[in-house]
Amino acid sequence: MAALGTPGGTVEILKKYNFSFRKKYGQNFLIDTNILKKIVDASCITEQDCVLEIGPGIGTMTQYLAKSAKEVIAVEIDRALIPILEDTLSGYDNVTIINEDILKLDIGRMVEEKNEGRAIKVVANLPYYITTPIIMGLLEGHVPIESITIMVQKEVADRMQTGPGTKDYGALSLAVQYYTKPEIVAQVTPACFMPKPKVGSAVIRLARHEKPPVDVDDEKLMFSVIRASFNQRRKTLVNGLANDPKLGISKEKALEVLETMGLPSTVRGEALSLKEFAQLSNLLF
């Protein structure tokens, strides 16, 4: 078999199993060994590490991870890829393949069983349509994770590390920056994939903070405030908060808190930093 991670090797294995790409899973397999090496290098995997790989596809990156890590848990939703993975990964005794939807998997329990509750590293080439739910699930679920190194749509990577006052800034930026330190480590062109996606990609590494960079009394409430603030971007922050029935905040209360913070009544959510959202949340509740 030709090496996976090359166009020839990928075509060979797909033909062998008569595999057809399924649009609903957003499948784009990496066919550039330089990018594969960059992802593995950026994830800083050692022989002590247990790695969770989301969406291994035909096992291209899994092979690279298995050579560096103590153990790799590869979670693949597409049943048609399981026989291929069993074939391409048959030479590695430190890989466990799980045919499951990552959003339905109890990752905390899996980490407890596989790594005795110690922090794992997550590596993934994520389907674009499901990037945000997966990342939010990993971060908000308080799964013991040391870092997340992922390939995502370039636009999403930019959104994760941008600051207040930009059009890309939103709830995802704030969540990622509250839990982690984001750093884009590589830009990736469509030509590095099979089939080619219509947009550029980027590899971003999210290193988990030992302690969040801001003090907040109730994390969950802060993120409810953040979501309400960005739900109607064109509206003022006051209207966004008052219009959210789940929060139960009056316009008067919202205005009073903004005044305490020295912010104008016309301010929009996109103008507030993470520190200001933490302060806002603490004062509101």
Which of 208, 240, 274 is where one domain is finished?
208
Listed in sequence order, the residues at least 6 apart from 233 whose beta carbon sits closer than 8 Å to its beta carbon are: 170, 268, 269, 270
Residues (pLDDT < 50) of the chain are: none
Residue count of the chain: 285
Residue 2's pLDDT is 55
Residue 2 domain flag: no
Residues 199 and 73 in one domain: yes
Looking at this protein, which amino acid is placed at residue 37?
K
The CATH number of whichever domain residue 251 belongs to comes to 1.10.8.100
pTM for the whole structure: 0.93
Task: State pLDDT tens for residues 95-132.
Answer: 999 999 999 999 999 999 989 989 999 999 988 888 99
Residues 147 and 204 in one domain: yes
Closest CA to 97 of 126, 67, 56, 60: 56
How far apart CA 188 and CA 186 sit, in angstroms, is: 6
Residue 141's pLDDT is 87
Task: Supply the range of the domain harboring residue 168.
Answer: 7-208
* Residue 107: both structure tokens together: 């990752």
Give the number of domains in the chain.
Answer: 2
Q: Strand runs (DSSP E) across the chain, as ranges?
A: 29-30, 50-54, 71-76, 95-99, 120-125, 145-153, 180-188, 193-194, 201-208
Closest CA to 92 of 144, 56, 145: 56
Task: State pLDDT tens for residues 22-60.
Answer: 888 889 999 999 999 999 999 999 999 999 999 999 999
Residues 181 and 258 in one domain: no
